[in-house]
Structure 1
Amino acid sequence: MERLLSQVLARVVRRGSVVVTFASGTRATFGDGTGEPLEVRFTSDAWQRQIALDPELKLGEAFMEGGLVIERGDIAQLLALLMAQVGLQVPSASAKFLMKLRFLFRRLAQFNPRDRSQKNVAHHYDLDGRLYSLFLDADRQYSCAYFETPDQSLDDAQLAKKRHIAAKLLFDKPDLTALDIGCGWGGMGLYLAGHTGAQVTGVTLSQEQLGVARCRAEERGLAERADFRLQDYRDVPGPFDRIVSVGMFEHVGVGHYDEYFGRVAELLKDDGVALIHSIGRSEGPGITNPWIAKYIFPGGYIPALSEVLPAIERAGLFVTDIEILRLHYAETLKAWRERFLAHREEVERLYDSRFVRMFEFYLASSEMAFRHQGMMIFQIQLAKREGVVPLTRNYIAEAETALRRIERENRPGLRLAGE
C-alpha cells in the first residue's frame, strides 16, 4: 500500500513540498520543492491503504485517530497545499468511482424529514455550550462575518453582518413581524428586535440554542419582542412581514428545496421581504464532503445557485437581489480556528484530544475550501411582487448608516461596580 499511496501523492501534489515518512520508515518528498516544506508521518500501513483508496473520508479520520501525524507545519497548511492544487490533480479510478456513487445517493443522504432534521441539528448544535463560547464572537454568531475592512475584528465583522442583513430587509416602519428560520443562539433575532422595533419569532431545532436564546432575550428586556421556539420551519404559522434565514439553508437538503421555498412563499406577506444567507458552491452541483457529512453536519449540503434558483422560481417568488461574499467566510473560519487552538486545552478538558483534532480538521478544511475550492456565501433577497424593494441598492448603505446610529444609542453605558 505504500507504493499505491506514493502514486496517489505524486498525482495530487504537483506544487509545494511535502516530506512523507511512511509506516515502514521510508521517506519520500512530493511536489516541486517550492514553498516551506511540510513533514507528515503515517503510523500504520492500514491508514496508508485507506487514504489511498478514499482520501476524501479517510484523511480526516487518520488525523483524528492519530494515524496521520503532522511533524512540521500544521493540518491547515497541509490542507491548504492539497486543496490549492486546482487544475493539477488527476483523480484516481477509486476516487472517481466513490464520487459518482456518492452523487448518485446524495438525495438519500440529504433526506431531512422533521424527526431526522432535529437529530441532525442536535448532532452538532447541542454540543456543550462552553465549546462555542471559546471560539465564537461575544454574540455567538456561528455563520460568515462581513469584513468591511481587512483589519476589522471578528466581533465588529459579525455586527456588520447583522447590520448588512437588517438593511436589506427594509425595516422601514415599526412593529413589523419577522421570522428567523434557524435562529441559533438568538443573535440575529435580538438585533432585529432591539434595533428595528420588529416583533421577532425565532425557530430552532436545538434545545441548547433555544435555552440560551430565551435567557438572552430575558436579560436584554426583549422577551416580549423576541419569541424563540423549538419548532420546525415547516410548522410555523404565519404570515410575516419579513423572513430571514442565516446559515440554516445548508441543512435543508437538495430534495427539500421546493418545500422550503414553498413554505417561505406561504409565510411571507404580499408586500414582504425575505433574505436567505447561505454557503454556496461556485462550480455547479456536487456532493457533501463525506468526512463533513459523517462527523460534523449529517444531512447537510452546500448548494449551487443553479440548484436554488429554479426552486425559487417554482415557488412564485421574485429574486430582487443577489450578493456574493467570497473570502469573508475564509477570514471568519481563520479567526475561529485561531481562537479554538488558543483554547485547545480547555476543549480537551470538555471532551478529549480526538475531539480537538476533529474540530481542528473541520475548521481548517472549511477555511481552505473557501480559499481554494470555490466555496462562497450568497445572500438572496426575495419578494412576492414587484415594487416592494427600491430600484437601486442605495437604500442598503443608507439603512446601515441609520442602524449604526441606533447601535450607538442603544449601547449600554458604563456602570460602577455595585450599581
Structure 2
Amino acid sequence: MLNRAIRKGTLEVHYPSGAMVSHGDGNEPRVAVQLADAGAVRQIYLDPALNFAEMYMDGRMTVEQGDVDGFVSLVKINGAKRFATSPAAAITAWRILERLWRRHIARETARRNVAHHYDLDEKLFRLFLDDDLQYSCAYFETPDDTLEQAQLAKKRHIAAKMMLEPGQRVLDIGCGWGGMSLFLARDCGADVTGVTLSTEQRRVACQQAEELGLSDRVHIELKDYRAGEGQFDRLVSVGMFEHVGPQNFPAFFRTARRLMKDDGVFLLHSIGRARPNIADPPFVEKYIFPNGHIPALSETLKAIEGAGLLVKDIEILTFHYADTLKHWRERFHANRDKVLELYDERFFRMWDLYLATSEASFRHGKLVNFQIQLVKKQTTSRPTRDYITEAEAKLRQMS
C-alpha cells in the first residue's frame, strides 16, 4: 500500500522488529515514523484514514524525523486516495451510507454537535486564537501581518462588503464568542443580534459586550438560526455554514431570505472544497466536528438560487486559512504546558493533528475559503467593487 501511495518525497517506516522500509523517491520532504506494535500494521491496512490518526493520538505511532505537519503534508502532496485499500474502500462506503442517514439533523442534534466542540473550556481557545477569539480564516494583507492584524483585517473586509450604515440592524448567524458582533457594533455603529447554540460562547460574548459597554447594542441569544424572528438590514455568518449540512442548505438560505429586508445584504464566509465530496475526513468527523460538512461552491450556489437570493459577489481566499492555521498551531505548541494543565497528552496530540491536517488541506489539498455576498434585489449592489477598498480604508482609521 505505502509503495503505491508515496511517490513524491520519502517516508521511512520503522517497525517494532527493528526493520526499516523506505517508500518514495528518496527526495525531500523526508519523514520517518516509528510503529510501536505489530498490530499497527494490520490496522493501517484496514483503515488508514482513521487508524493513522488514532495511533498517533495514542502514541502507538511517533514521528521520529520531521513532525506531524510534515507527515500529513507528505500524504496530501501524494494524494490521500492512494492510501486506499480494499478493506478501507468498503469502510469508506459504509461511512458514506451512515453519514447520509445521519444528515437529517434535528435541532437538538445540531445543538449537541456544536457543544461537542465549542463548549470546550474557553481557556483552551485563548491559548492559540487571537485576543478577539476569531475562530475562522484570517485575512493577511501582507505576509508579515500578525494573527491579530490579519483577524482585524478580516472583520474590516467583511464589514466593507456588508455596506453597513450606522444604526442598521444586523443578524450574526453563528456568532461564536461575539468578536464580529462586537466589531460591527463598536466600529460600524450597528445594532447587532447574535445567535449561537453554544452556552459557553454565549456566556463569553455577553461578558465581552458588558465589559466594552455595548450591551445596549449587542444582544446574544441561545437559539437555532431557524427560530429567528423579525427582519434585518444586514446578515452575516462567519465559520458557521460548515455545520449546517447539505440537507439543510435550502432551509438555511430560505431562512436568511425571510429575515432580510428587501434591500438587505447577506455576507456568508465559509470553508469550501473544490468539488462535492460526501466522505469528509473520518478523524475530523469522529473527534472534532461530528456531522460537519465542508460545502462545495456548486452545491452552495444551487441552494442559494433555490431560495430566490441573488449572488452579487464571490471571493475565493486560497492560502489565507493555511497561514491562519500555521499561526494557531505555533501558538498551540508554545502553550503546550498550559494545554496539558487542562487536558491530557492524547487530547494535545489529537488537536495537534487536527491543526496540522487542516493546514495541509488548505496548503496542499483542495480546501479554500469563500465569501459570498447575497441580496434580494439587483438594485442593492454597487456598480464596481471600489466601495470595498474605500470602506476598509475608513474602518482602518478607526481601528
TM-score between both structures, scaled by the size of structure 1: 0.93
Deviates more, 1:92-101 or 1:67-76: 92-101
Tell me which of 57, 63, 71 is aligned to 1:64: 57
Instruction: Give 1:105 shift.
Output: 3.6
One-letter code aligned to 1:382: L
Tell me the matched-pair count.
399
Tell me which of 110, 114, 133 is aligned to 2:107: 114
Could you say which residue in structure 2 is the equivalent of 1:169? 162
Counterpart Cα distance in 1 of 2:158 and 2:358? 23
Counterpart Cα distance in 1 of 2:67 and 2:216? 48
Could you say which residue in structure 1 is the equivalent of 2:176? 184
Q: How does 1:297-336 map to 2 (within 5 A)?
A: 297-336=289-328
SS of the aligned residue for 2:254 comes to: helix
Tell me which of 128, 131, 135 is aligned to 1:135: 128
Structure 1 residue ranges without an equivalent (≥5): 1-7, 408-419
Instruction: Give 1:80 shift.
Output: 0.5
Could you say which residue in structure 1 is the equivalent of 2:193? 201
Counterpart Cα distance in 1 of 2:258 and 2:39? 53
Instruction: Give 1:90 shift.
Output: 6.6
Does the 8 Å CA contact 2:275/2:298 hold for their aligned counterparts?
no
Counterpart Cα distance in 2 of 1:110 and 1:55? 24
Tell me which of 233, 252, 260 is aligned to 1:241: 233
Does the 8 Å CA contact 2:262/2:376 hold for their aligned counterparts?
yes
Instruction: Give 1:264 shift.
Output: 0.5
Change (3 A) 1:284 1:111: same
Say whether 1:395 aligns with 2:395.
Answer: no
SS of the aligned residue for 2:33 comes to: strand
Counterpart Cα distance in 2 of 1:385 and 1:180? 21
One-letter code aligned to 1:257: F
Counterpart Cα distance in 2 of 1:130 and 1:105? 34
Cα deviation, 1:56-104, whole Å, max 9, x if unaligned, reads 1111111001111111111111111111114993732233333333333
What percent identity do the matched residue pairs reach? 51
Could you say which residue in structure 1 is the equivalent of 2:282? 290
Could you say which residue in structure 1 is the equivalent of 2:67? 74
Could you say which residue in structure 2 is the equivalent of 1:218? 210
Cα deviation, 1:328-367, whole Å, max 9, x if unaligned, reads 0000001000100111111111110000000000000000
Cα deviation, 1:33-68, whole Å, max 9, x if unaligned, reads 101532111112222211212111111111001111
Does the 8 Å CA contact 1:320/1:382 hold for their aligned counterparts?
yes
SS of the aligned residue for 2:129 comes to: coil
Tell me which of 346, 363, 367 is aligned to 2:359: 367
Instruction: Give 1:373 shift.
Output: 1.2
One-letter code aligned to 2:32: E
Counterpart Cα distance in 2 of 1:286 and 1:108? 12
Could you say which residue in structure 2 is the equivalent of 1:17? 10
One-letter code aligned to 2:222: L
Tell me which of 326, 334, 343 is aligned to 2:335: 343
Counterpart Cα distance in 1 of 2:83 and 2:384? 45
Does the 8 Å CA contact 2:32/2:65 hold for their aligned counterparts?
yes
Counterpart Cα distance in 2 of 1:110 and 1:139? 32
Counterpart Cα distance in 1 of 2:92 and 2:272? 19
Does the 8 Å CA contact 1:51/1:58 hold for their aligned counterparts?
yes
One-letter code aligned to 1:42: L
Could you say which residue in structure 2 is the equivalent of 1:158? 151
TM-score between both structures, scaled by the size of structure 2: 0.97
One-letter code aligned to 2:143: P
Does the 8 Å CA contact 1:13/1:30 hold for their aligned counterparts?
yes
Counterpart Cα distance in 2 of 1:70 and 1:109? 35
Does the 8 Å CA contact 2:275/2:297 hold for their aligned counterparts?
no
Counterpart Cα distance in 1 of 2:101 and 2:394? 46
